Amino acid sequence: MTDPLDRIAAALERLSPPPPPAADPLAHPAYVWRNGTLSPARGFAPLPLATLVGVDRQKAALLANLDRLAKGHAAQDVLLWGARGTGKSALVKSAVAAVQQGGSDLALVEISDLAELSTLFATLAPVDRAFALFVDDLGFEVPAEARALRSVLEGGAEPRPANVRLLVTANRRHLAPRDIAEQESAINPRDSADDHLALADRFGLSLGFHALDQDGYLAIVAAYAAVHDLSFEPGEAIGWATRRGSRSGRVAWQYIVNLAGRAGKAL
């Protein structure tokens, strides 16, 4: 007769199947690190780098840094900060793809749980390949998380693998508390602010992205339209941005999606 505990264990296994096997870290251009497992990123197809306009300085700096990483040379961790929708995340993905297309062996790994960084480091350290770890829209609910990442960037007790660097996007340069209430909740508000400032200082390369003026916005719309063989009216594109209260690369792309849909095209 089957032990009831064995039946319960079997039922639980059926309800919660084991995680899928880890992906080959040499086989794919991009991955997602989730629940301690490396999985291939589905549909990794970044925009062509030439499509991203108005960020030539940031583009050149990031490309040079990623190229050094891919070749096994010294490279920096990167903080991409600034106004929302200005192309920070798009540039990360497009720059990695451009380095790959240039023949260098570099993979992107998107991560969401900073608590698993040490496990990911251990997974990637023995792999004969360079990895850019992508943390999108960084934010901290508690100062301890900032201190933990700061320790990782500084080296900590266990050195970080030489083939791994972090690419982090954030809306603010200093990653400081958002309001006075956050600072007042700390025993010493100055110490809380210093924690966040010290974290930003740990990134060897800091790239700022700023709000667009009207000409910059229209240049992005024009670049997207050219890639997808669409014609547009500048006045209409400006009106689209005005109704959304923002001029950004994200708003420009949303306008292009609307334009393509009206023209009966898929993107």
User: Would you state the pLDDT for residue 174?
Assistant: 58
| Bridge-based pairing state of the strands 30-34 and 37-40 | antiparallel
In a domain, 57, yes or no: yes
pLDDT of 197 over the 50 cut: yes
51-97 tens-digit pLDDT: 898 899 999 999 999 999 999 999 999 999 998 888 999 999 999 99
Q: Same domain, yes or no, for 86 and 105? A: yes
Among 157-171, 172-186, 238-252, 253-267, where is mean pLDDT lowest?
172-186
Q: Same domain, yes or no, for 134 and 245? A: no
Residue that wins the pLDDT comparison between 141 and 231: 231
Q: Residue 164's CB: how many other CB atoms inside 10 A?
A: 22
Q: Same domain, yes or no, for 152 and 42? A: yes
Across the range 240-253, mean pLDDT stands at 92
In a domain, 13, yes or no: no
Q: Same domain, yes or no, for 100 and 227? A: no
User: Would you state the pLDDT for residue 139?
Assistant: 72
In a domain, 152, yes or no: yes
Q: Same domain, yes or no, for 99 and 162? A: yes
Entry field: residues in the chain? 267
Q: Same domain, yes or no, for 88 and 173? A: yes
Residue that wins the pLDDT comparison between 137 and 257: 257
User: Would you state the pLDDT for residue 261?
Assistant: 96
SS (H, E, C) the chain: CCCHHHHHHHHHHHHCCCCCCCCCCCCCCEEEEECCEEEECCCCCCCCHHHCCCCHHHHHHHHHHHHHHHCCCCCCCEEEEECCCCCHHHHHHHHHHHHHHCCCCEEEEEECCHHHHHHHHHHHCCCCCEEEEEECCCCCCCHHHHHHHHHHHHCCCCCCCCCEEEEEEECCCCCCCCCHHHHHHCCCHHHHHHHHHHHHHCCCEEEEECCCCHHHHHHHHHHHHHHCCCCCCHHHHHHHHHHHCCCCHHHHHHHHHHHHHHCCCCC
Q: Same domain, yes or no, for 182 and 166? A: yes
CATH number of the domain where residue 147 is located: 3.40.50.300
In a domain, 24, yes or no: no
Structure tokens at 111: 């991560």
pLDDT of 18 over the 90 cut: no
Domain membership of residue 117 as a residue range = 30-209
Q: Same domain, yes or no, for 61 and 116? A: yes
Q: Same domain, yes or no, for 152 and 202? A: yes
Q: Same domain, yes or no, for 137 and 191? A: yes
Residue type, 86: T
Distance, CA of 33 to CA of 44 (rounded, Å): 15
Average pLDDT over all residues of the chain:
84
User: Would you state the pLDDT for residue 182?
Assistant: 45
In a domain, 109, yes or no: yes
pLDDT of 101 over the 80 cut: yes
Residue where the block lists tokens 């929302």: 84
pLDDT of 196 over the 70 cut: no
Across the range 175-191, mean pLDDT stands at 48
Asked if 83 contacts 209 with a C-beta cutoff of 8 angstroms, the reply is yes
Q: Same domain, yes or no, for 203 and 229? A: no
State the total domains in the chain.
2
User: Would you state the pLDDT for residue 252?
Assistant: 94
In a domain, 65, yes or no: yes
In a domain, 16, yes or no: no
pLDDT band at 210 (very low <50, low <70, confident <90, very high): confident
Structure tokens at 182: 């956050």
In a domain, 91, yes or no: yes
Q: Same domain, yes or no, for 130 and 200? A: yes
Q: What percent of the chain has pLDDT over 70?
A: 78
User: Would you state the pLDDT for residue 154?
Assistant: 72
